[in-house]
Amino acid sequence: MTTLPSPDAPVLTFAPELLLAAQGIRLLLLDVDGVLTDASLLYGEDGEILKRFNALDGHGIKLLVRSGIHPVIISGRDSPALRRRLSDLGVRYALLGCTNKLGAAETLIAQLGLTWAHVAAMGDDWPDLPLLARAALPCTPPHAHAEALALARHVTRAAAGAGAVREVCDLLLMASGRYALLWHEALGGGAT
pLDDT digits (tens, 9 = 90+) for 107-130: 999 999 999 999 999 999 999 999
Rounded Cα–Cα distance for residues 180 and 87 (Å): 27
Read off the pLDDT band of 192 (50, 70, 90).
very low
pLDDT at 72 over 80: yes
**How many C-beta neighbours within 10 Å does residue 153 have?**
16
By the 8 A CB rule, do 93 and 108 touch?
Answer: yes
pLDDT: which is higher, 1 or 173? 173
pTM of the model: 0.90
Instruction: Report the 10 Å Cβ neighbour count for 192.
Output: 7
pLDDT in tens, 116-168: 999 999 999 999 999 999 999 999 999 999 999 999 999 999 999 899 999 99
Query: What is the C-alpha separation between 4 and 25, in angstroms, rounded?
Result: 35
